[in-house]
Amino acid sequence: MEIRNLTAKPSRRDDPLKILVVMSEFNALITERLLSGCMETLASADPPVDRTDIVRVPGALEIPETLSLLLPDSSYGAAIALGCVIRGETGHYDAVVQGATEGIVRQSQLHGIPVVFGILTVDSLKQALDRVGGIAGHKGHEAGETALRMACLFRAYSKGSSR
């Protein structure tokens, strides 16, 4: 039995790498930190990212519809959804998390473009702060790294590319 590990390493290609970032403004104390970490990672990428478009939307539920607007017929190598949903005292949290998650996954599948889920779903502000440079790492950096890896993978193995 043949076993192959299919991975893709960054390569210098003639076609520019463009990344789309859609960020929720709700819980801006956290989402701005997510964006900052993500942009640090994208800025230091090798090969470099040629362009990053940032679109700010009011909340996490507006992210999928914005992806739906911007991904068709685009030349983005990947998209990143950034947000922070903090559990409250009502069931609103569950509805927002489920709607945003399902919508983001659907957009990736519909458009054949990797969409990274960089939305924190936490129980408290402390948990969110721990995930933007605290004891739980920096999820903004991780989202940027994931987008770069997935863009390379999709480029290497998409239809019409040489394998």
Catalytic annotation, residues: 92
Backbone angles phi, psi at 51, to 5 degrees: -155, 140
> Can you tell me the distance from the alpha carbon of 158 to that of 141, in angstroms, rounded to the nearest whole number?
25
Residue in the block written with tokens 């609103």: 92
Cβ neighbourhood burial of 15 (10 Å; 0-12, 13-18, 19+): exposed
The CA distances from residue 7 to 141, 156, 159, in Å, are 21, 9, 16
